């Protein structure tokens, strides 16, 4: 959410940012919120004047009563009553206007970083860098569920009967591999100085609207019927929510946290043949990283965070690349974002396995996360990034470590988490 003062003083900058995000339908909102803001300030001025008048007249009533001028005092009392009625009327209008302003401001997108490429959608995202050499072996790489089935490691049919499409049972060595990857990712981030955390898996609506846009909320979140609770789509939601309505001490920044959680997502719409199996599902587990820091440090942390994910995948012998998200592919709260994509030998292309985002002060402004510094109070910056999200990550792992005889090689760093196994058969 933007600062209303920034929008008031820079309406054309805000409008151009909306155009850059190809959301022209939101352009009228800028003028609408400016008009509402003007009316809000007019109301406040009138209310302030009425209160000053009330104080003045109250003193005059006291003086009249002291002098025995009861009739004159009664006239002043009528004036006070009339002013009170007008003040109540204005206060009601003020509340309505402020609610309208907040609703509109929650839908106007954040100002993107100047380095973000301008483009309509994810087809115009820009490749930044490749890490590792993509290899296509001479032998066939089966579809990921076929690989898992050969190890008796997945049961989609039973899961469909129990929960419907978009769910799965993982079993045996595949389930163990899934847990091993999560545990390795946890320790990987702890070794890089992040504090490990397991957060609540449900959050209240005020946290939901604080961490994401209304459009994201509608397409992602599961609501708990009859309660003000939502299942989290990622632990970033409850981890950023941890700091709601807090005044942080500047010297304690940055907060660097890595969190484990299950994640629940609606995943509305059709996704195509390559997204069957366990690619796009309603429930999965994830290791996340979040940073709460000073504004001037957020871009440095952005660079460090996506590099952590690249380093983790490379330690598992999986080639990856980074992809800069263009303006039209950025969610409304994001200032800058990049995807980490893993190499798929079967598809002979890269596919998304994680995303790193700098949200500037958008979440902090919505949630009231302030910092007390030497020069006063200010809003913190927040960032998030996927460390690893199996089972999607398992697709990349299995394809890149599958051997000609059908066994799967276990990279050295993962062997302690797999009971010392060098491969699974």
Q: Does 116 reside within a domain?
A: no
In angstroms, the Cα distances linking 331 to 24, 117, 149, 202 are 15, 14, 36, 22
Q: Does 391 reside within a domain?
A: yes
Q: Are residues 139 and 91 in the same domain?
A: no
Give the model's pLDDT for residue 382: 98
Mean pLDDT in runs of 10 for the chain (425 residues)?
94 98 97 96 90 80 78 75 84 94 95 97 96 95 95 94 93 97 98 98 95 84 94 95 97 97 80 65 95 98 98 97 97 96 96 96 97 94 96 94 96 97 95
Considering the entire predicted model, what is its pTM? 0.89
Tokens 């799967």 correspond to what residue? 408
Structural domain span for residue 309: 122-424
Q: What is the DSSP-derived secondary structure letter of residue 187?
A: H
Q: Are residues 152 and 61 in the same domain?
A: no
- Alpha helices (H) along 136-213: 144-150, 156-162, 172-191, 205-211
Give the model's pLDDT for residue 400: 97
The domain boundary residue, chosen from 105, 135, 162? 105
- For residue 324, what are the β-bridge partners? 126, 338
Give the model's pLDDT for residue 269: 52
- H/E element holding 285? strand 283-293
Q: Are residues 88 and 233 in the same domain?
A: no
Give the model's pLDDT for residue 180: 97
Q: Does 115 reside within a domain?
A: no
In 3D space, the residue among 299, 321, 298 whose CA is nearest the CA of residue 310 turns out to be 321
Give the model's pLDDT for residue 275: 54
Q: Are residues 298 and 338 in the same domain?
A: yes
């Amino acid at each position: 959410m933007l600062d209303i003062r920034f929008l008031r003083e820079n309406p054309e900058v805000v409008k151009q940012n909306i155009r850059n995000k190809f959301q022209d339908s939101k352009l009228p909102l800028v003028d609408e919120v400016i008009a509402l803001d003007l009316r809000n300030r007019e109301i406040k001025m009138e209310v302030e004047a009425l209160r000053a008048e009330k104080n003045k007249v109250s003193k005059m009533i006291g003086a009249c009563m002291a002098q025995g001028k009861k009739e004159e005092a009664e006239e002043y009392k009528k004036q006070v009553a009339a002013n009170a009625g007008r003040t109540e009327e204005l206060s009601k209008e003020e509340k309505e206007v402020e609610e309208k302003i907040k609703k509109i401001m929650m839908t106007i997108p954040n100002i993107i970083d100047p380095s973000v490429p301008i483009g309509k959608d994810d087809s115009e995202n820009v490749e930044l860098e490749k890490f590792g050499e993509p290899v296509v072996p001479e032998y066939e790489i089966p579809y990921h569920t076929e690989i898992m089935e050969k190890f008796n490691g997945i049961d989609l049919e039973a899961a469909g009967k129990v929960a419907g499409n978009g769910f799965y049972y993982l079993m045996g060595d595949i389930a163990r591999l899934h847990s091993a990857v999560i545990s390795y990712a946890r320790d990987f981030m702890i070794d890089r100085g992040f504090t490990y955390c397991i957060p609540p898996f449900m959050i209240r609506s005020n946290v939901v609207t604080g961490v994401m846009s209304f459009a994201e909320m509608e397409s992602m979140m599961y609501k708990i019927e009859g309660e003000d609770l939502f299942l989290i789509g990622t632990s970033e939601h409850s981890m950023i929510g941890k700091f709601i309505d807090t005044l942080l001490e500047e010297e304690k920044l940055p907060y660097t946290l890595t969190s484990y959680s299950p994640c629940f997502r609606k995943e509305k719409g059709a996704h195509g043949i390559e997204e069957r199996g366990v690619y796009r599902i309603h429930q999965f587990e994830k290791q996340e990283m979040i940073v709460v820091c000073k504004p001037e440090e957020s871009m440095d942390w952005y660079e460090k965070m996506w590099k952590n994910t690249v380093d983790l995948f490379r330690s598992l012998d999986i080639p990856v690349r980074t992809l800069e998200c263009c303006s039209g592919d950025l969610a409304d709260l994001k200032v800058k974002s990049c995807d980490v994509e893993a190499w798929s030998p079967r598809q002979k292309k890269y596919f998304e396995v994680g995303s790193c985002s700098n949200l500037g002060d958008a979440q902090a402004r919505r949630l009231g996360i302030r910092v007390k510094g030497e020069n006063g109070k200010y809003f913190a910056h927040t960032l998030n990034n996927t460390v690893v999200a199996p089972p999607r990550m398992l697709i990349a792992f299995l394809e890149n470590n599958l051997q000609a005889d059908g066994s799967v090689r276990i990279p050295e760093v993962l062997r302690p988490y797999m009971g010392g196994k060098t491969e699974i058969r």
